[in-house]
Structure 1
Amino acid sequence: MLRNAVIGVDIGTSSSKGVLVGLDGTLLRSAVREHTPARPGPGRFEMDASVWWREFTELTQELTAAADATVVAVGVSGMGPCVLLADEHDTPVRPAVLYGVDTRAVSQIERLQDELGAEEIIGRCGSALTTQAAGPKIAWIAEHEPEAYARARRLYMPSSWLVRRLTGAYVLDHHSASQCTPLYDTTAQAWYTPWADRVAPGIELPPLAWSNDSAGTVTEEAARRTNLPAGIPVTTGTIDAWAEALSVDAQRTGDLMLMYGTTMFLIHTVPKPLTSPSLWGTVGALPGTRNLAGGMATSGAVTNWLRDLFGATDHPELLRLAEAAGPGANGLLMLPYFSGERTPVMDPQARGVIAGLTLSHTRGDLYRAALEATGFGVRHNMEVLRSAGGDIRRVVAVGGGTQGPLWTQIVSDITGRPQELRATSIGASYGGALLAGRLVADVSIDDWNPVRRTVTPRPEHTERYEELYALYRRLYPATADVVHALADRQDR
């Protein structure tokens, strides 16, 4: 007898992931397609939208190949905020500009702040203008590629692009819109027309819905391409980090989600709108929720870089060596700003620093320093969250970096905070499946994804990290002038 199931697909920075999940939360199958963003210049990250749709169709065909389950709904998510501009026929006018890892729009940020007012932007939009915001990226395209921009009529992100191809609906979720600063008013929860017309003239901004709403149903044409049943509902979807938070139930007031991935993302659910020039204030993925969020530009990306640099085949051996190195990495300290930094530094010209190197340091020491750098960055973000009025009551971890015990333990030791891990830590694709399940059934997150274990801080290590964290906080201002001068040379 066939069982009913849902599919969740997430389009991420380095891969697209899909899961087939029974309506009881059981993971039936998973599939992955890896990809690499294009880097057409310093500080620029782009991707061809055809990759998103091709990989989606490959994933759904693979997940449904066994024909042992009936798919009854689909959930989507993707990296963001991204800027994909398309013409009236939905033909992209250029590759998509990716989220905060793309730092090209610095001059547009400065100009818009001067024109609109930095305080006015934070007050209306919840966030300062940074490299994370979609608005300046749109302005960059308009200024630097006017011929392409002249053809542009619609704005998409990975999740909304999939929704369009699957259902024909042109729609964006409120949370993604709230990261389109300065186009969206977080108080009114609507596009702010005066600034939208100024920053994105000629663009017909999409109607808005919530991530758990049904955007429409799979068309006959999409069904032929994807092997999905025609007529089943598709969620509106959202940005991947928010789908990850949903997958582990990190959406209650006081919750903080830590997403261990290529980048590190933090989402704190707050009872009322909070703002900070060093964080992102957004509406949540679900109606009635508000968030104060942060994101580090690199985390897993640095460990991947070290793995490749060392010629290692995989991470487990390096993790073993890092554990043997012990707290403090034998006197190494790293700033993890290898792609600039987002929150709370907000410095696209920041760069990675490794301090204290000697000829006796090993691969394990360097790898340990990278894991600790993430922990120090998380603590820095947590402190800024608290200073902005946040009240962190529970920390929930998710993502690929939670699979082994070392990284989460280091972060708990540095922050002094326990972290809850749920049984399934796949992340955004599982969160998308959860939202899809809620379109067709009464789905409980505790039934789907119960708590598996809690990582608790080790007091003796927490004490040792206090001094190292103080040194970490001193390292960035002490090296910023030199690093900025080097960054200028890299951009030439």
Structure 2
Amino acid sequence: MWMDHRAVDQASRITETGHSVLDSFGGIMSPEMQPPKLLWLKENLPQLCWKSATHFFDLPDFLSWKATGSLSRSLCTVVCKWTYSASSGWDDTFWTQIGLEDLKENNYSRIGQQVCVPGSPLGSGLTEEAAADLGLPQGTAVGASLIDAHAGAIGLLGADISGLHLPCEKQPISSRMALICGTSSCHMAVSQQPVSVPGVWGPYLSALLPGLWLIEGGQSATGRLLDHMVKGHAAYGQLKQEAEQSGQHVYSYLNLHLENMAAAMEETHLDQLTAHLHVWPDFHGNRSPLADPMTRGLVTGLSLSQTLDDLALLYLATQQAIALGSRHIIQAMTQAGYDITTLFLCGGLSKNTLFLQTHANATGLPVVLAAEPESVLLGAAVIGACASMDCASTEEAMRRMSRAGEVIRPNPELQSFYERKFRVFLRLYELQKECVGLMEDTSRSTRQLH
């Protein structure tokens, strides 16, 4: 499970090796990657799991194995999560240095001897057993897998935007960013040449599209954070009751409540209701661009009040913090040489109109939704079309199947507000590190006295 951060210590020790494979992970090994998780298993479950396991799979490869019986791994999974190189394969020295040299046995049979590009047909298609379970014909083509978020990127990045007057029109695909937002969020872009961004995963060759380099930022908790903030508030019971009575989802009800609050307070833009309420959103650590799994969330500007209005404001401030986290990632990529001009969004949070408009306003970039409401499924269909030979390439399938839908544009009147909000956002992290440092100094002084 990617969200399981038990392997923080193992990830830190891997980072300390300074091995060259870390160059493709922003220089820092995340506890969400597989090497630290494997090391945790070896150190904590040596008999029960480590020595008895024949194979270790990423979930997408496990599913394709169950479907076809093929042990081939996808280039997407092993490059993005396991340190495999599309050009040179597994690095023996890395696995030896981190204490997992036994994985080298039998040409890495436990983590992948055969690796293929996403969409490559696997085995003889669906096995008899899998076909019966799925209600499909035996032999139905199955393509080498994609990680779910990466399937969303495939479903988004090739969208036809003709006539929408977007800044990425007639620009290379590297001007587009796919933002797949659900429990967590992933920020993906591709380029013709490798571009390294400190604290951001990649660049990965051919992990998403053949011949292109993928860079992948992300936030470890976004939809999960919104649920945490809303459901943990004292006024949640009232919110849930009123939303049910109105026949609306709680987030739709909160969005309308914020509009009514802005009107009652004669605020032109509801965004400005949080001028004195700020959130640092990394309650589950920072994936990008700080790559700091130990940072934690912060809220400043709270009062003793616990009304529905207070809950709505905290919900809005959290939305803004998540959007400013996206801006932080884009800023790091821009400083490294990317020129992101348009965001393409999908996932559960993209169904929330306030989330979309807040992202446009906070980043200053237009947000594009796909015409197909489930871009992850569309990306899977693209892979299927390649495996079945209905399309000759991923790029062809993307062109034929992906179209842009609604466009949400930033409000220029809020540019100054979000510039100031972003400065506060960055300052919150600096203050947190300062506070942690002060307490560590105190702890050291106390130990020295004893």
Match of 2:254 in 1: 318
Matches within 5 A, 1:31-42: none
Match of 2:117 in 1: 210
Displacement after TM superposition at 1:189 (Å) = 4.8
Matched residues in 2 for 1:180 and 1:452: separation? 31
Match of 1:247 in 2: 155
Unaligned runs of 5+ in 1: 1-97, 487-492
Displacement after TM superposition at 1:464 (Å) = 1.2
- Residue by residue over 1:205-245, the C-alpha shift from the partner in whole angstroms, topping out at 9 and shown as x without a partner, is 21111111112300111122221210111111111111001
Match of 1:349 in 2: 294
The secondary structure found in structure 2 opposite 1:292 is strand
Displacement after TM superposition at 1:306 (Å) = 3.2
Match of 1:387 in 2: 335
Identify the range of structure 1 (195-204 vs 359-368) with the bigger mean alpha-carbon deviation. 195-204
- Residue by residue over 1:253-292, the C-alpha shift from the partner in whole angstroms, topping out at 9 and shown as x without a partner, is 3321111211111001111122233100123322212111
Tell me the TM-score normalized by structure 2: 0.79
Matched residues in 2 for 1:138 and 1:108: separation? 9
- Residue by residue over 1:327-384, the C-alpha shift from the partner in whole angstroms, topping out at 9 and shown as x without a partner, is 1443211111121221112222222211111245522101101110111100000011
Question: What amino acid is the match of 1:245?
Answer: A
Higher strand proportion: 1
- Residue by residue over 1:159-212, the C-alpha shift from the partner in whole angstroms, topping out at 9 and shown as x without a partner, is 11111111000121112111235x4235x2522233235543433221111111
Displacement after TM superposition at 1:296 (Å) = 0.3
Tell me the TM-score normalized by structure 1: 0.73
Percent identity, aligned pairs only, is: 25
- Residue by residue over 1:85-121, the C-alpha shift from the partner in whole angstroms, topping out at 9 and shown as x without a partner, is xxxxxxxxxxxxx22x32222222232233x425x23
Match of 2:284 in 1: 339
Query: Is 1:271 paired with 2:219?
Result: no
Query: Is 1:190 paired with 2:71?
Result: no
The secondary structure found in structure 1 opposite 2:157 is coil
Matched residues in 2 for 1:110 and 1:447: separation? 44
Report the CA distance shift for 1:132/1:250 in structure 2 as closer, same or farther (over 3 A): farther
Match of 1:165 in 2: 66
Contact 2:61/2:145, CA 8 A, preserved across alignment:
yes
Unaligned runs of 5+ in 2: 104-108, 160-172, 263-269, 441-450
Taking only aligned residues, the RMSD between alpha carbons, in angstroms, comes to 2.4
Q: Which runs of 4+ in 1 moved over 6 A?
A: 483-486
Matched residues in 2 for 1:368 and 1:126: separation? 31
Matched residues in 1 for 2:436 and 2:97: separation? 35
Query: Is 1:434 paired with 2:382?
Result: yes
In structure 2, which of residues 208, 224, 235 is the aligned counterpart of residue 301 of structure 1?
Answer: 224
Displacement after TM superposition at 1:124 (Å) = 6.4
Contact 1:264/1:299, CA 8 A, preserved across alignment:
yes
Matches within 5 A, 1:66-465: 98-99=1-2, 101-114=3-16, 116-118=17-19, 120-123=20-23, 127-147=27-47, 148-181=49-82, 183-185=83-85, 188-197=87-96, 199=98, 200-203=100-103, 204=109, 205-206=111-112, 207-216=114-123, 217-250=125-158, 252-281=173-202, 282-283=204-205, 284-309=207-232, 310-311=236-237, 312=240, 314=249, 315-323=251-259, 324-325=261-262, 326-330=270-274, 331-360=276-305, 362-440=310-388, 441-442=390-391, 444-465=397-418
Rg larger in 1 or in 2? Answer: 2
Matched residues in 2 for 1:278 and 1:126: separation? 4
Match of 2:164 in 1: none
Aligned positions, number? 384
